[in-house]
C-alpha cells in the first residue's frame, strides 16, 4: 500500500517517506532510498542558527557551494530540508537562505529528544510551548511564500514532553493555523526517547482532528507495519526512520530475494557515494556505524549469517578496498 499524497502544492506519487535521522540519512543513503521507491526523503536535521551564522558554508547565493547536509542525493527527485531551532526570526531567515537549493518541502523539527538539541529550546522542547511552535511555523511559511515560491512547510512532532503532558493535538492545531501543510506525529513522548512502543491510536486521533495530511511515524519496520498503520490510523503518509537504516529496500515493492546480500552490496554503494562527498578516509570511518545497521537483524528483518564476525572486520576497515574485500569474502562464502 503506497497511495499518492498531496501536501499543499506538492503532489507525490507515493506515501512512503524517509525520516531525518542524524548521522545516518546522509545524501548517499537518501539516494539509495529514493532509488528503491521512497517518495520523499528528509535531510538530517540542520541547525537554523548555524545556517544563518555561517550561511556561506552551507549554501552560496548562486547555489554552487552546498554543505553535504543539504545536497540532494543522486536520483533524489524530491527532497525535504529539516531545520531545527527555537527562534521564529532565525527560522524564517534560515528558510530564505534555502532558496538556491529549491527544496520541495521545508520541515520543522519538534521531535528530536537529544539533550544537545533540547537544552537550546529546540526539537521536542518546542512541545512545551504551542504558541511558540505556531509562531515559528508562521515565520517559516511566510519566508517560504516570499523566497521559495510557497513550497510546503511541515512539522514533525512527538506526542508531548512526558506522559503528563500529551499535547500533540494542541500543538498540531497551532501548526495548522500557522499554515503548515502537513504534521508528522511520532507518538512517543520526549521522556520515552526511543523506548517502549509508539501509540498509533494517537495518530488516528490526530487524523480525525486536522484538515491537513497527517504522516505517521514510529515502529515502522516492514511493509506489514506500513499496511497496518495506514489501515488502523487512516494517516495519509508514512515516515520510516530506524526501520529503514541499513535497509533501503523497505521502500521497494519488490525487495530482493537475497536481502542479506543486497543490503551488504547497498552498503558498499553507500560507502562509495559518501567517499565522493567527504573523502575516502572520513567515509570509511563514518560507515563503520552504518554497516552495523546493514549487517544486524532486528527492526523486522534477520541479520546476516556470521554478522558479528563480519562487523568485527568492517569496524577495522580503513579503505574502500578493505571494505570490498570483507564483503566479497562474505558473498563468496559456501552456502
Residue-wise pLDDT for 252-272, tens only, equals: 989 899 898 999 999 999 999
Quote the domain boundaries for residue 268: 259-331
What pLDDT band is residue 335 in, cutting at 50, 70 and 90?
Answer: low
Number of domains in the chain: 2
pLDDT score of 141: 98
CATH number at residue 293: 1.10.1200
- Beta-carbon contacts of 53 under 8 Å, excluding residues fewer than 6 positions away, are none
What pLDDT band is residue 57 in, cutting at 50, 70 and 90?
Answer: confident
97 shares a domain with 219? yes
307 shares a domain with 241? no
pLDDT at 68 over 90: no
237 shares a domain with 268? no
Residue whose C-alpha cell reads 541547525 in the numeric block: 47
pLDDT average, residue stretch 40-61: 92
The catalytic position among 33, 41, 79, 112 is 112
- d(CA 148, CA 155) in angstroms, rounded, equals 17
pTM: 0.93
pLDDT score of 298: 67
71 shares a domain with 165? yes
281 shares a domain with 226? no
175 shares a domain with 149? yes
pLDDT score of 15: 97
CB 44 within 8 A of CB 85: no
Residue of 58, 12, 299 lying closest to 154 (CA atoms):
12
pLDDT at 60 over 90: no
For 289-312, how does the pLDDT look when each residue is reduced to its tens digit (9 = 90+)? 999 899 887 666 767 787 888 888
pLDDT average, residue stretch 281-287: 95
* Residue 112 known to be catalytic: yes
- Domain boundary (229, 251, 273) is at 251
pLDDT at 73 over 90: no
For 136-154, how does the pLDDT look when each residue is reduced to its tens digit (9 = 90+)? 999 999 999 999 999 999 9
Side-chain-side CA neighbours of 236 within 13 Å: the count stands at: 21
107 shares a domain with 32? yes
240 shares a domain with 297? no
What does the block give as the cell for 238? 508514512
- Domain boundary (208, 235, 251) is at 251
Amino acid at each position: 500500500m503506497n497511495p499518492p499524497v498531496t501536501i499543499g502544492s506538492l503532489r507525490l506519487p507515493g506515501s512512503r517517506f524517509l525520516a531525518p535521522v542524524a548521522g545516518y540519512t546522509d545524501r548517499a543513503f537518501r539516494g539509495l532510498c529514493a532509488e528503491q521507491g521512497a517518495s520523499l526523503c528528509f535531510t538530517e536535521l540542520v541547525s537554523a542558527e548555524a545556517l544563518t551564522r555561517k550561511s556561506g558554508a552551507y549554501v552560496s547565493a548562486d547555489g554552487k557551494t552546498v554543505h553535504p547536509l543539504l545536497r540532494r542525493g543522486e536520483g533524489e527527485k524530491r527532497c525535504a530540508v529539516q531545520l531545527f531551532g527555537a527562534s521564529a526570526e532565525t527560522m524564517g531567515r534560515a528558510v530564505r537562505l534555502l532558496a538556491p537549493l529549491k527544496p520541495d518541502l521545508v520541515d520543522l523539527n519538534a521531535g528530536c529528544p537529544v539533550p544537545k538539541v533540547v537544552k537550546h529550546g529546540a526539537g521536542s522542547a518546542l512541545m512545551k510551548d504551542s504558541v511558540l511552535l505556531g509562531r515559528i511555523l508562521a515565520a517559516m511559511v511566510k519566508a517560504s511564500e516570499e523566497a521559495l515560491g510557497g513550497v510546503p512547510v511541515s512539522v514533525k512532532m512527538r506526542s508531548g514532553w512526558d506522559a503528563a503532558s500529551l499535547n500533540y493535538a494542541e500543538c498540531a492545531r497551532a501548526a495548522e493555523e500557522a499554515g503548515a501543510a502537513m504534521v508528522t506525529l511520532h507518538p512517543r513522548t520526549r521522556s520515552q526517547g526511543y523506548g517502549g512502543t509508539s501509540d498509533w491510536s494517537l495518530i488516528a486521533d490526530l487524523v480525525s482532528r486536522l484538515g491537513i495530511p497527517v504522516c505517521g511515524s514510529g515502529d515502522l519496520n516492514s511493509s506489514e507495519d506500513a499496511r497496518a498503520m495506514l489501515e488502523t490510523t487512516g494517516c495519509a503518509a508514512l515516515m520510516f526512520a530506524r526501520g529503514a537504516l541499513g535497509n533501503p529496500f523497505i521502500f521497494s515493492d519488490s525487495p530482493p530475494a537475497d536481502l542479506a546480500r543486497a543490503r551488504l552490496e547497498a552498503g558498499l554503494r553507500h560507502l562509495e557515494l559518501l567517499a565522493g562527498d567527504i573523502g575516502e578516509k572520513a567515509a570509511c570511518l563514518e560507515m563503520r556505524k552504518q554497516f552495523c545497521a546493514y549487517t544486524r537483524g532486528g527492526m523486522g528483518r534477520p541479520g546476516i549469517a556470521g554478522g558479528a564476525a563480519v562487523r568485527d572486520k568492517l569496524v577495522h576497515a580503513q579503505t574502500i578496498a578493505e571494505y570490498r574485500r570483507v564483503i566479497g569474502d562474505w558473498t563468496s562464502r559456501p552456502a
